[in-house]
């Protein structure tokens, strides 16, 4: 573990991890969420469990099951907790509990520490068999539909501690509360160093010209990511600086709105041969890595955002990011130091031009950006924080 990350993660974090690992050696650490694939939580757990094991901790990951009705209900929770009006009947709350009860019967919930991720498995606390139980909320519950939060927090208040991603996304809780930001794994395919040959392969396959500066945004096709705003900003900048624009994102799957946004983007981009719309299949990690590395200027012009992992991913590659001043983005971008925060199309266009005209500035800010990620947003730091919370909450 130390050898893998030494020279990459801060020495102090690695030392603390090693010490915490010694204290918690052979003790069991169970993570529970509701999906093994798709979404940031699963992505982080896939990388984190092997690291915990390497530290000598007996780490496990269990996934709760449920039928369509269960996940329809928990999707409504998700929306309501993020402020969208939803009515949740008493019967729905009861079903949420019953499905968790069935899961409690089939899953092995015995562990020295249990980290429950998000609202779906939160009632499992009623079936606790000992150990420190911690609830980890990955979503923005700053302005929830009150009734839904009140009902859910009946369970949350029974945990030893709770963890939120960003201070302003949290709710005051009657139990210990910690803020632990998400992180990236510098050794994953999305973030590891790529060889010249690997870069060439991606550029060739995706048919990207390298004769002009590249403006990039990687995002799901979602209105809140403002892809149309990105096109407008690129057009303003292009009047003065010749460049190409790459919008890379996933194809709409079962999200009707995603399909609609993608069509709007296609309409706006039509007729401009310098706009590259790349529809990336799932598991395009290496391609995303390569795109972030070959880009000259990277945007994350969100109008509303959770944390915005793409910002950290890009900064880790030594690039400043022009990001919307929203959600977790200002935590990552220090305006004028590791990138620029913008609130309009014109602002984004101005910053694109400023960076295109100052390669030295890109280099200088990019170095600060990478350093900032190294200190704050690598997975070793997140594991260090989880283990510290466990140690503090141990019974
Ligand atoms: N991503 C991806 N394929 C895509 C678009 C995005 O794998 O087509 C990745 C991106 O690299 C990042 C994550 O999905 O790791 C998106 O996380 P973020 O917090 O930026 O936004 P979210 O989509 O969760 O709102």
Structure confidence by residue, pLDDT tens digits, 252-306? 555 667 888 999 999 999 999 999 999 998 889 999 999 999 999 999 999 988 8
Measuring from atom 22 of ligand 1, which residue has the nearest CA? 308
What are the pLDDT digits (tens) for 95-129?
999 999 999 999 999 999 999 999 999 999 999 98
Within this chain, do residues 142 and 240 fall inside the same structural domain, yes or no? no
Pocket test for ligand 1, best of 223, 307, 309 (most atoms within 8 A of CB): 309
Q: What is the mean pLDDT of residues 297-318?
A: 95
Domain membership flag for residue 365:
yes
Measuring from atom 10 of ligand 1, which residue has the nearest CA? 310
- Residue 194 pLDDT > 80: yes
Within this chain, do residues 179 and 224 fall inside the same structural domain, yes or no? no
Nearest atom in ligand 1 to 283's CA: 7
Residue 309 CA, ligand 1 centroid: distance in Å: 7
- Residue 22 pLDDT > 90: yes
Mapping DSSP to helix (H, G, I), strand (E, B) and coil, where does residue 242 land? coil
Within this chain, do residues 126 and 253 fall inside the same structural domain, yes or no? no
Nearest atom in ligand 1 to 328's CA: 19
Give CA–CA dist 38/21, Å, rounded: 29
Within this chain, do residues 227 and 146 fall inside the same structural domain, yes or no? no
CA torsion 212→199→183→228, rounded to 10°?
Answer: 40
Domain membership flag for residue 189:
no
Contacts for 344-347: CB closer than 8 Å, 24+ residues apart: 345/229, 345/232, 345/233, 345/236, 346/233, 346/236
Measuring from atom 6 of ligand 1, which residue has the nearest CA? 219
For the chain, what percent of residues have pLDDT higher than 70?
A: 97
Contacts of 345 (CB under 8 A, 6+ apart): 229, 232, 233, 236
Give the pairing type, strands 297-300 and 214-218. parallel
- By C-alpha distance, which of 310, 306, 302, 370 is closest to 338? 370
Range of the domain at 272: 196-376
pLDDT, residue 82, reads 86
Within this chain, do residues 129 and 218 fall inside the same structural domain, yes or no? no
Q: Which residues pair with 178 in a beta bridge?
A: 163
- Residue 159 pLDDT > 60: yes
Measuring from atom 21 of ligand 1, which residue has the nearest CA? 308
Within this chain, do residues 267 and 358 fall inside the same structural domain, yes or no? yes
For ligand 1, residues with CB inside 6 Å are: 40, 218-220, 249-250, 280, 284, 288, 306-310, 313
Pocket test for ligand 1, best of 39, 258, 283, 310 (most atoms within 8 A of CB): 310
- By C-alpha distance, which of 345, 314, 356, 312 is closest to 331? 312
pLDDT, residue 309, reads 93
Nearest atom in ligand 1 to 219's CA: 5
Domain membership flag for residue 191:
no
- Residue 38 pLDDT > 80: no
- Residue 1 pLDDT > 80: no
pLDDT, residue 2, reads 56
Mapping DSSP to helix (H, G, I), strand (E, B) and coil, where does residue 274 land? coil
Task: Write the DSSP symbol of residue 252.
Answer: P
pLDDT, residue 16, reads 95
Within this chain, do residues 161 and 248 fall inside the same structural domain, yes or no? no
pLDDT, residue 251, reads 62
Q: What is the mean pLDDT of residues 336-353?
A: 98
Nearest atom in ligand 1 to 305's CA: 25
Q: How many helices and strands in the chain, by DSSP H and E?
A: 15, 12
Within this chain, do residues 166 and 312 fall inside the same structural domain, yes or no? no
Q: What is the mean pLDDT of residues 206-234?
A: 96
- Burial of 329 per CB tally in 10 Å (0-12, 13-18, 19+): buried
pLDDT, residue 254, reads 53
For the chain, the domain total comes to 2
Q: What is the mean pLDDT of residues 12-41?
A: 93
Domain membership flag for residue 78:
yes
Domain membership flag for residue 132:
yes
Q: What is the mean pLDDT of residues 377-381?
A: 97
Residue 240 CA, ligand 1 centroid: distance in Å: 31
Within this chain, do residues 326 and 388 fall inside the same structural domain, yes or no? no
Task: Write the DSSP symbol of residue 190.
Answer: T
pLDDT, residue 282, reads 83
Confidence of residue 392 (pLDDT cuts 50, 70, 90): confident
Domain membership flag for residue 306:
yes
pLDDT, residue 40, reads 79
Within this chain, do residues 331 and 204 fall inside the same structural domain, yes or no? yes
Pocket test for ligand 1, best of 35, 38, 40, 118 (most atoms within 8 A of CB): 40
Domain membership flag for residue 190:
no
Give the pairing type, strands 244-250 and 214-218. parallel
Within this chain, do residues 178 and 327 fall inside the same structural domain, yes or no? no
pLDDT, residue 203, reads 96
Domain membership flag for residue 282:
yes
Within this chain, do residues 266 and 329 fall inside the same structural domain, yes or no? yes
The CATH number of residue 54's host domain is 3.40.50.2000
- By C-alpha distance, which of 340, 392, 331, 389 is closest to 365? 340
């Amino acid at each position: 573990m130390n050898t893998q990350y030494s020279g990459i993660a801060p020495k102090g974090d690695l030392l603390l991890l090693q010490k915490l690992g010694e204290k918690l050696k052979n003790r069991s650490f169970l993570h529970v969420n509701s999906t093994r694939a798709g979404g940031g939580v699963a992505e982080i757990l896939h990388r984190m469990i092997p690291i915990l094991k390497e530290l000598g901790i007996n780490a496990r990951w269990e996934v709760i099951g449920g039928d369509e009705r269960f996940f329809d209900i928990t999707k409504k929770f998700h929306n309501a907790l993020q402020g969208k009006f939803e009515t949740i009947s008493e019967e729905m709350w009861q079903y949420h509990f019953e499905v968790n009860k069935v899961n409690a019967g089939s899953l092995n919930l015995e562990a020295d520490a249990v980290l429950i991720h998000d609202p779906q498995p939160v009632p499992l606390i009623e079936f606790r068999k000992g150990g420190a139980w911690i609830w980890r909320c990955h979503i923005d519950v700053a302005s929830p539909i009150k009734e839904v939060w009140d009902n859910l927090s009946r369970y949350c208040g029974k945990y030893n501690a709770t963890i939120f991603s960003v201070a302003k996304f949290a709710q005051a809780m009657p139990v210990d509360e910690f803020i632990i930001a998400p992180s990236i794994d510098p050794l994953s395919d999305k973030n590891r160093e790529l060889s010249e040959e690997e870069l060439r392969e991606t550029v060739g396959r995706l048919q990207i010209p390298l004769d002009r500066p590249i403006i990039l945004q990687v995002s799901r096709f979602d209105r809140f990511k403002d892809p149309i705003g990105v096109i407008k900003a690129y057009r303003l900048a292009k009047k003065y600086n010749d460049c190409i624009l790459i919008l890379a994102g996933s194809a709409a799957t079962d999200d009707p709105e995603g399909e609609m946004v993608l069509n709007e983007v296609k309409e706006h981009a039509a007729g401009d041969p310098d706009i590259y719309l790349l529809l990336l299949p799932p598991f395009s990690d290496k391609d995303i890595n390569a795109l972030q590395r070959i880009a000259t200027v990277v945007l994350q012009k969100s109008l509303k955002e959770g944390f915005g992992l793409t910002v950290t991913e890009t900064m880790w590659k030594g690039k400043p990011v022009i990001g919307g001043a929203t959600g977790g983005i200002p935590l990552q971008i220090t305006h004028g130091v590791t990138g620029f925060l913008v609130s309009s199309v014109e602002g984004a266009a101005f910053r694109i031009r400023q960076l295109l005209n100052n390669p030295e500035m890109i280099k200088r800010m990019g170095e600060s950006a990478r350093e900032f990620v190294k200190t704050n947003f690598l997975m070793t730091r997140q594991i260090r924080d989880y283990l510290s919370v466990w140690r503090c909450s141990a019974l």
